[in-house]
Structure 1
Amino acid sequence: MKKGRLELNIIAMALFIGLLFLFRITFDSYKMKILNLCGIYIILGLSLNLINGFTGLFSLGHAGFMAVGAYTAGLLTMSPAMKEMNFFMKPIVPFLAEVEWPFFPALLMAGVISALMGFLIGSPVLKLKDDYLAIATLGFSEIIRVIFTNTQSLTNGALGLKGLPIYTNIWWSWGAAIFTILFMVFLIKGSYGKALKAIREDEIAAEAMGINLFKHKVMSFTMGAFFAGIGGALLGNLLGTIDPNMFRFVLTFNILLIVVLGGIGSITGTVISAVVVTVAMEALRVLDETINFGFVTIQGIPGMRMVIFSLLLMIVILFYQQGLMGTKEFTWDWFFNGKGFRKTLKKEVK
């Protein structure tokens, strides 16, 4: 089995790309948007899992890094004419007025600026632990949102940015998602990944083994912020409009939900959970509307979607306290051996 893993990976990748081609042909615009959101939330879930799951830090500032990435890519990709239409209350700063970049360099710059913000925020904040770290990162996230709301000449303030070019498609979102998955796999399997896990399990023991706690924490926080910026940029150029209210704490909570549901410290779990949660949130919208079965009509109840979704989450967490995958990962041996899957489920139930 070990000798054929590379071949199996290549075959699986080819089949998945073929599946994306099929989806692109058969899905309508609404379903394609959901599929794009699945890829984006995989990126966001993995970036938060790197910080919270693999390093053991409790960060609640992801929405702030997403905002930085979304605004950076948005301002760099908008045409000068569209910027002039958006910034009618106060002119945009001169050094951005005539700038119009292709999407790929703008996407990379969004990640770099977010990573820089992560480094600047993480350097002083990561000396805190547990609840204090969570409060501090949440505070910085809100500070970023408030700054974006009040910098009229840079971000257009509370009005936000409208008419962003719709560059994000299935290849951008899922290409970035696949890259993020591969990056996470190689990172966690390497020496840095082992060091991050050691910090998560016992900081004192990790430091005694010669691991530089501050360096690895800042590195993890910065890389998580980078991918959060990428995810925010993809989201902004998918929706075509952004404003500061999009990046409230609720957005961080949704990403944290994906991480916890899939399993804190599991790449596979985050990928599965991101797809399931994104699709379920849209599929359950039918509960908010009137349903006609022909022989009976059921009146929809606004908000029922979230009630049912919350109940389903409670049921899953009751049976799988460590999430769907716990800390387990997908392997081909596990796939071809049904017993391995059953053993994993039994361990999680216990």
Structure 2
Amino acid sequence: MKKQKILLNIGAILGFIILLFILNKTFDPYQKKILNLCGIYVVLGLSMNLINGFTGLFSLGHAGFMAVGAYTAGLLTMPPAMKEMNFFMKPIVPFLAKVEWPFLPALLMAGVVTALVGFLIGSPVLKLKDDYLAIATLGFSEIIRVVFVNIQSVTNGALGLKGLPTHTNVWWSWGTAIVTILFMVFLIKSSYGRAFKAIREDEIAAEAMGISLFKHKVMSFIMGAFFAGVGGALLGNLLGTIDPNMFRFVLTFNILLIVVLGGIGSITGTTISAVVVTVAMEVLRVLDENINLGFVQIKGIPGMRMVIFSLLLMIVILFYQQGLMGTNEFSWDWFSKIKGFKKTPKKEVRQ
């Protein structure tokens, strides 16, 4: 049975890759951008779910981690000529002026630098709990953004970086998403994953069982920061431009929304929610514009899509208080139950 599930998983991944190939060939540039955003938000949602959902740490610093990743990859992949055009107010620091890396090493370095920042922030902050931890991580996120505004010779200040090479495509975004999903699945099934869940449920009991709270909290924080940095790098190289105002608290809220809607502590729920939320935000954009039905024309109201989207979220949360999936995960056993493969044993009739 275990071998059969492994084959089904491999088949599902291959089938999804074929689907991506078809969508990449048939979608127009706008639809491809939405598809890319879906993959990026899967990475970002899972990185936050690892910290908030599986370890139970109420962190609100994701926008800051994304900023570190986006700027790191942007500075490493931008051609020297484009750097010279961007840094016309104040020259860029010499050691970055001539640097131009391929996208993969830059993406990994973005994750590593962000993980280092996560360690530096997490070491003192993770001694706090609940609301205090949330406020502290939110404060550090804003500090990162303000620092990026002021170190003009490195980040170009409030002007941001323009003309980034748009390396991010369907294969980069969803390839990273698939790797992140697989990493999360294996991590949560490992002893570290069980330790994270134990800390989430009861810190005192986990510590009594010999689990090092500080070590596992910092480990979770660093891994979440790594994938947040990678997601930020993918986003920056998709849009082609970044500036500090992109990484305000609203961005963290959007990712938190994906995690809560999908189910705190569910990999499957976060993946589904990331796709649904990203697509719904674009589909509802039609409500902001005039709608012509032929016999009548409905005047669009700017901001109406956010009102309708918020109402839909309220309805979902009212009926699914633990999110779409709760803490459940996808299993092939669902299909066997639906198709009736598991037959209940018949009761013996006594004569």
TM-score by length of 2: 0.96
Query: After superposition, where does 1:198-213 map in structure 2 within 5 Å?
Result: 198-213=198-213
Q: Quote the Cα distance in structure 2 between the aligned partners of 1:211 and 1:177.
A: 30
**CA shift digits 1:233-264 (9 cap, x unpaired):** 00000000000000000000000000000000
Measured after TM superposition, the shift of residue 11 of structure 1 is 1.1
Counterpart check, 1:245 vs 2:245: yes
2:344 aligned partner:
none
Equivalent position SS for 1:4: helix
Corresponding residue for residue 216 of structure 1: 216
Which range is displaced more, 241-250 or 6-15?
Answer: 6-15
Alignment match, 1:196? 196
Quick one: distance in 1 between partners of 2:279 and 2:141? Answer: 27
Q: Indicate the residue corresponding to 2:343 in structure 1.
A: none
2 CA distance for matches of 1:39 and 1:322?
Answer: 23
> C-alpha separation between the residues in 2 aligned to 1:81 and 1:92?
12
Cα distance in 1 for residues equivalent to 2:55 and 2:24? 37
1:326 corresponds in structure 2 to 326
* Distance in 1 (alpha carbons) for counterparts of 2:201 and 2:339: 28
Deviation, 1:109, is: 0.2
Distance 1:221 1:130 in 2: 15
The residue type equivalent to 1:106 in the other structure is A
SS at match of 1:20: helix
The match for 2:148 is: 148
CA shift, 1:269, in A, is 0.2
Q: Secondary structure at the match of 2:3?
A: coil
For residue 349 of structure 2, what is the aligned residue in structure 1? none
The aligned counterpart of 2:57 is 57
Question: Which amino acid letter does the alignment assign opposite residue 118 of structure 2?
Answer: G
> Cα offset for 1:42?
0.2
TM superposition shift of 1:336: 3.1
Write out the 4+ residue segments of structure 1 that deviate beyond 4 Å after TM superposition: none
> What letter is aligned with 1:67?
A
Matched to 1:7, the amino acid is: L
Distance in 2 of aligned mates of 1:90 and 1:195: 48
Count of residues in Structure 1 that have an aligned counterpart in Structure 2: 340
Partners of 1:186 and 1:238 in 2: CA distance = 28
Gaps of at least 5 residues in structure 1 are: 341-350
Match in the other structure for 1:300 = 300
Which deviations, in whole Å up to 9, do the C-alpha atoms of 1:281-317 show, x marking residues without a partner? 0000000000001111100000000000000000000
Query: Aligned-pair distance for 1:34?
Result: 0.2
Partner of 1:290: 290
**RMSD between superposed Cα atoms in Å:** 1.0
Within a 5 Å distance, the mapping from 1:46-195 to structure 2 comes to 46-195=46-195
Aligned to 1:23: 23
Question: Matches of 2:196 and 2:145 in 1, distance apart?
Answer: 29
Query: Residue 259 of structure 1 corresponds to which residue in structure 2?
Result: 259
SS in 2 for 1:88: coil
Among all aligned residue pairs of Structure 1 and Structure 2, give the percentage whose two residues are the same amino acid.
Answer: 85
Matches of 1:144 and 1:335 in 2, distance apart?
47
The CA deviation string for residues 174-209 of structure 1, in whole angstroms up to 9 with x for no partner, is 000000000000000000000000000000000000
**Structure 2 residue runs without a partner (length 5+):** 341-351
Distance 2:3 2:102 in 1: 41
Distance in 2 between the 1:235 and 1:310 partners? 24
Residue equivalent to 2:337: 337
Query: What is the CA-CA distance between 1:339 and the residue it aligns to?
Result: 9.2
- For residues 261 and 10 of structure 1, the distance between their equivalents in structure 2, rounded to whole angstroms, comes to 28
Length-normalised TM-score, structure 1: 0.96
Hey, what does 1:231 align to over in structure 2?
Answer: 231
Rounded Cα–Cα distance in structure 2 between residues aligned with 1:300 and 1:220 = 45
The 10-residue stretch of structure 1 (327-336 or 136-145) with the greater mean CA deviation from structure 2 = 327-336
- 1:335: how far off? 3.2
CA distance in 1, matches of 2:278, 2:126: 31
* Distance in 2 (alpha carbons) for counterparts of 1:56 and 1:211: 15
